Structures are given as structure tokens and as C-alpha cells.
Amino acid sequence: MEENQALVVENLNVLFDDKPALHGLSFSLSAGKTLALVGESGSGKSLCALAVMGLLPSQASWMGRIHLGSKKCSESSTAADWRYLRGKVASIVFQEPMSALNPVMKVGRQIAECLRVHAGLGPAAAKKQAQEWLRKVQIPTPEKSYHKYPHQLSGGQKQRVMIAMALSTQPLLLIADEPTTALDVTIQQEVIRLMRQLQTECGAALMFITHDLALAAEIADEVLVLRAGKVVEQGPVQQVLHTPAQPYTQALLACRPSAAQKGFRLPVVADFLENNGQTPARIPIVQEQNARLPEALLKVRNLRVWFPVERDWTGTPIHFLRAVEDVSFDLNRGEVLGLVGESGCGKSTISRALMGLQEVESGHIHYEGRDLVRLNSAGWRRMRREVQMIFQDPYSSLNPRLTVGDALMEPLRVHSIVPRRLLQQEALRLLDWVHLPADSMHRYPHQFSGGQRQRIGIARAIALRPKLIICDESVSALDVSVQAQVLNLLKELQAALKLSYLFISHDLNVVSYIADSVLVMQAGKIVERGKAQEVFEHPRDPYTRRLVEASVY
């Protein structure tokens, strides 16, 4: 074994509830190097990280050898052995900074705690060092921030605190489990840059877990591609991600949406596996060319949505959060309008206002000549047929007690779309549209995978034969390979059913693939608008430029 190996994993097998979840994983990582563990959800990449930290949940058991520095761990290692290693030899940064910090403990003390336990520092010295680390991770006014609680920091700052906590004890190995997935794009880059810089300073090895191949290509020395608990491909980053040998890796690289794919069907994993490594042919999407002049389906004028944040003693609001401020746009018939912006910019508030789920302060929403702002609840019920929504989380937006068939037939019945005797038939037709088997009718949402659930959500949205569908982050929670399938489906339905989409997303690559024109929102206002290609290739507004730079690695 080489001297400077920080981590050696030999033949790691993990059983979860007695079902194999990781099969014979072996890899090594030397000090100062970065290994990217790439895979889709359920591939076992997080499980691998937990195993290396000795943090596997109690339902899991493992076999194999893990060498952390000079320490050797096996399945017979005790809790005390692990405790010595955790935090001191190996540290981890988790995905969700929002929930990974103790909400009732000052952030500075959470860092100081590590130093006191592992470096044996006294309270005063630990506090001083913790402030020093807050400065290193570029948190403004470290002395003051030491006394802040997690809820007083932004998501990016919380993740910086996590990084400070993980590196403060100078570990040999830093594990980062999707550390930036929960953050906005512009912040993602800063956090990653900071983490890399500090890692180099400490000389620690980095095990970086991600679903994002572009990110892996940018930061890793070596890559390990996982699928369903097995290694698909591993080796130097150049080799694996630039000239991949395995069809699965090729597929993962090819199915990412981008502006270059626009107008073509996205390839999916199955295409590559069937073609046995041959790049499948590009299939253009047949789109009916509208000879007529563009006709506005939806016209939004000077829309304002304010939320009261402070009230006086009588309960009258005196300060407002201006979530949507003076927004105007047109959505043409048959068009896909992308709405991009970072979290909190007001894009979801707009979609709620369009659905009548949010009271509007002032402004007009004209839909085919009717002003939706003035609509009463009976009018809104009729409008529901015309405008439908596909939500981000397909699981929580489906009633777990209804079978898929019932969930699809309910709106059909309520709005009397088809005669009662044809309900069943219509539901089957909808399932067929979204490529789900007919026996899905009698199954419950929890029996489907994430991608299938999103198809059910789509089937429900098109059940009422709407003209406009609002997709609110509809593909953001999906794996790339599933995302490609859902995007293909959305495009297919658009052409077949003559739909218009308002496509809300924080992911510029997805929007540049699917949208005809885009709106860029920042802090409740639209800062830039235009044809998708133009906006993303030649952004004029400084904010758009920052977004574009952050999403192209």
C-alpha cells in the first residue's frame, strides 16, 4: 500500500434490509486528490459515503475493508473506533445545509465543538479558531456571525459553515455528498470553489458525490460511475467522461438537455443500451409550423403580488414583501415560455397567481380576453379546465389513498369531460398518452418510481384538455435519464395536443432546450426577456450573464 493513501476501500458490500445495495466496491484515493462518485438516485453513492464514515443506518450491514489513513476498519469495528475516526480523520458535508445544522445552537459553537473534542482546545482557543474558520469560509463579520443561529444565515452560508466544521480538524479525507444540489446556481460555484481551495490548503483528499457529470468533469481527478450498486466504469476523469467505454456512461452524458439539442428528441438510456454503444441517430421533433401571426393566449399586465410581513397592532399590514412587482408578459398560443430565476425571485408566486391560488395586489391577467383577476370562484372552476399545472414533487401532489385510475377519472367526472360510461376508457387513453401500462389504473402512487409518478401528474394535467399548462420545476427533482424522458414526453404532447407551456425552472440548460422564449426574473421583477437562444447566447442584463456563466462549466 502506498504511503499517502487517504482512503482505500476494498470489496465493500452493503446489504440494506438484507437486500444487496452495494456490490464489491473497490477504490483508493490519495491525499490531495479528488474522486467523483457519479450516479443517479438509488445507485448507492450516498450509501458508500455513509459506509466510509461508519454512519450506515441500523437496517444496513456491510462487509469489506476500509482503510482511513493508517487506520483499518472492518465490520467488526466498534462504535468507539469509529468515533475516533469521524471528524478527525474523515469529515463529511451533507446535501441539505438547511437541516444539517442544529437549529438551536449558535453556528460558531457548532464549529468550536469540533475543535474542542478533536483538537483538545479550551473554550477560548476554540472560539478564536472557530472565528478564524468563519473568516476562511468567507462569512461576513466572523466575530458577529459566531453568535448567529442557522436560521439567520442563507443556504450558501450554512453550507460554508458545514465546510468549516468539516475541515476545521484538518482531516485526511473530506466527503462531500451533493454539497451544492440544494443551492442556487450562482452560489453553487462559489461554494465549490471555496471548498476546493480549502481542500488544497489542508491537503485533504476529496470524495465528491454528485449526479451532475459536468460538475464531476470539472473538479475530479478520478471518476467512478455507479448504477444500482455496481461500478459501471472507473478511471481518470479524461478517460471516463470524455471517451466513455460503457453505454450507460455515454447515455448519461448524452441525455442532458442543452440548447444544442433543441428541436430534437433527447436520447434516453434505453437507446444506448439497445444500440450496444452506438450513438443513436438524432430524431427531430415534428412541430406544426404556425403560418398565422402569433396570437396571445395569456396577457399579464402590471401584475403585483405582495405579502404582508409586518402588521401594526390592529392587524393592518404596514410592510410588504414585494414578491412580484409590476410584471407584464405575453404567452402566445402553442409557445413554450420559460421563466427562470433563483429561489425566492417570485416565479412560483406568478404561477400561483395564474392558477388563482394567490391573491393579487393589482394588475391584470387576460386569458383569451377574460380578466382572471376579477373572476369569482365559480368562474375559476370553469377556468381550471383551461389552465393546468404540473408540480415539482409528483409524490406529495398525488393523493396516496387514490388509485391512479381514480385520480385520473375524478377531474373527468367533476368537469363532465366525457359521458360517465366512457370514463374508464378515457383514463386508459390518458395513460397511453403518457406511456404508462394499462394496469397502472388499479395501482397506488407509492408503487411507481419518481419518473412514472411525474407521468401520472402529466396525465392528470392533460385530462381536462387544457390549453395552457404551467410546469413549476416539473423536471427538477428527476434524475437526468428520467428528466430526458419526461422532457421528450412534454414536447410530444405539446405537438399532439396543441398545448402551450409556461415552463418555470431554475435550470438554464433545461429551459434553453425546451423554451421558445424566456423571461429572466430577479427579486420580483423581470430583468430580461426575448427568444431563448438570444437571451442565453448574448445576455444583456448583468444578472442574466451571471446566471448563464454559473450554469456553463
Partner 1 sequence: MPTHLFRRLGYSLLVLWGVATLVFLLFNVLPADPARLTLGQRSDLATVAAARKELHLDQPLFRRYVLYLNDISPIGLVPARKGADAPWNFSFSQLHNGQRLALKVPYLGRSYRTKRLVSDILWEALPGTVVLAFSAMLFASFLGIALGILAALKKGSFWDTGAVAASVAGISLPSFFAGLIIAYVFGMLLHAYTGLDMTGSLYEWDAFGGKQLALRNLILPAFALGIRPLAIITQLTRSSMLDVLGQDYIRTAKAKGLSRWRMVTRHALPNALNPVVTAISGWMAELLAGSFFIEYIFGWKGVGKVTVDALDKFDFPLVMASVLLSSLIFIVVNFLTDLLYMLLDPRVRTS
C-beta of 407: minimal distance to partner 1 in Å?
30
Q: How many angstroms separate the most distant Cα atoms in the chain? A: 77
Question: Which of 59, 63, 70, 84 lies at the binding interface for partner 1 (CB under 8 A)?
Answer: 84
In this chain, which of 313, 316, 374, 416 binds partner 1, going by CB under 8 A? 313
Strands 336-340 and 362-367, sheet pairing: unpaired
Q: Which of 44, 64, 69, 87 binds partner 1 (CB under 8 A)?
A: 87
Q: Which residues pair with 530 in a beta bridge?
A: 518
In order of 92, 139, 391, 410, 462, the CA distances from 185 in angstroms are 22, 19, 21, 39, 31
Binding status of residue 104 toward partner 1 by CB under 8 A: yes
Give the one residue of 118, 160, 227, 460 binding partner 1; rule: CB under 8 A: 118
Count of residues that bind partner 1 according to CB under 8 A: 31
Cell of 474: 416539473
Closest contact distance (angstroms) between CB of 120 and partner 1 is 13
Work out how close the CB of 226 gets to partner 1 at its nearest, in angstroms, rounded to a whole number: 21
Q: 94 or 433, CB closer to partner 1?
A: 94
CB of 122 to partner 1, least distance (A): 16
Binding mask 143-182 for partner 1 (x = CB under 8 A): ------x-xx---------x--x-----------------
Query: Residues 6, 9, 66, 85: which binds partner 1 (CB under 8 A)?
Result: 85
Stretch that binds partner 1, among 99-107, 189-197, 218-226, 457-465 (CB under 8 A): 99-107
Query: What are the distances in angstroms from CA 137 to CA 37, 44, 185, 194, 264?
Result: 24, 30, 18, 7, 43
Nearer to partner 1, 61 or 149 (CB): 149
Q: Give the list of residues 6+ apart from residue 90 with CB closer than 8 angstroms, or none.
A: 7, 52, 53, 68, 171, 172, 173, 174, 175
Pick from 47, 114, 468, 475 the residue near partner 1 by CB under 8 A: 114
CA distance 273 to 129: 53
Alpha-carbon span 525 to 502, nearest angstrom: 17
Taking CB under 8 A as the rule, which mask of x and - marks residues 27-66 in contact with partner 1?
A: --------------------------x-x-----------
What is the distance between the terminal CA atoms of the chain, rounded to a whole angstrom? 35
What are the CA-CA distances from residue 84 to residues 51, 87, 162, 536 (Å)? 15, 8, 19, 50
**Nearest-approach distance from CB 136 to partner 1, in angstroms:** 18
Query: Given the complex with partner 1, which of 102 and 290 has the nearer CB atom?
Result: 102
Nearer to partner 1 by Cβ, of 166 and 504: the residue is: 166
**Among 5, 34, 91, 474, contact with partner 1 (rule: CB under 8 A):** 91
Q: Using the rule CB under 8 A, which residue among 10, 113, 330, 386 binds partner 1?
A: 113
Site string (405-444) toward partner 1, x via CB under 8 A:
----------------------------------------
C-beta closer to partner 1: residue 3 or 313? 313
Q: How far is the CB of 106 from partner 1 (least distance, A)?
A: 8
Minimum distance between the CB of residue 75 and partner 1, rounded to whole angstroms?
18
Q: How far apart are CA 17 and CA 61, in angstroms?
A: 8
Q: At what angle do helices 107-118 and 123-136 cross, to 10 degrees?
A: 120
Instruction: Choose, by CB under 8 A, the member of 33, 45, 86, 347 that binds partner 1.
Output: 86
Shortest Å distance, C-beta 103 to partner 1: 6
Contact characters 476-515, partner 1, x per CB under 8 A? ----------------------------------------
**Which residue is it, cell 425571485?**
345
Helix, strand, coil shares of the chain as percentages rounded to 5? 40, 25, 35
Nearer to partner 1, 150 or 156 (CB): 150
Of 10, 7, 12, 11, nearest to 62 by C-alpha is: 12
- The answer for residues whose C-beta is within 8 angstroms of residue 274's C-beta and 6 or more apart is none
Report in angstroms how near the CB of residue 148 gets to partner 1 at its nearest.
Answer: 9
Judged by CB under 8 A, the residue of 37, 101, 327, 486 near partner 1 is 101
Min dist. Cβ of residue 92 to partner 1 (A)? 5
Min dist. Cβ of residue 314 to partner 1 (A)? 10
Stretch that binds partner 1, among 114-122, 254-262, 345-353, 530-538 (CB under 8 A): 114-122
Question: d(Cα 345, Cα 537) in Å, to the nearest integer?
Answer: 22
Rounded least distance, CB 164 to partner 1, Å: 12
Between CA 62 and CA 77 the distance in angstroms is: 11
Q: Could you tell me the three cell numbers for 376?
A: 369569482
Q: Does 242 bind partner 1 (CB under 8 A)?
A: no
**Residue 318: other Cβ atoms inside 10 A:** 10
Which of 543, 530, 487, 494 has the alpha carbon at shortest distance from 510?
A: 487
126 binds partner 1 (CB under 8 A): no
Rg (C-alpha) for the chain, rounded Å, is: 26
Report how far residue 320's alpha carbon sits from residue 92's, in angstroms, rounded to the nearest whole number.
Answer: 40
Contacts of 310 (CB under 8 A, 6+ apart): 317, 318, 319
CB of 18 or CB of 310, closer to partner 1? 310
If phi > 0 it is left, if psi is from -120 to 50 it is alpha, else beta; for residue 178 that is: left
| Eight-class DSSP state of 293 | P
Cβ atoms of 126 and 157 within 8 Å: the answer is no
Tell me the β-bridge partners of 310.
319
Among 19, 72, 83, 545, which residue sits at the site for partner 1 (rule: CB under 8 A)?
A: 83
Task: Give the C-alpha separation, 355 to 471, whole Å.
Answer: 12
Q: How far is the CB of 102 from partner 1 (least distance, A)?
A: 4
Which stretches of the chain bind partner 1, using CB under 8 A?
A: 53, 55, 79, 83-88, 91-92, 94, 96, 99-105, 113-114, 117-118, 149, 151-152, 162, 165, 312-313
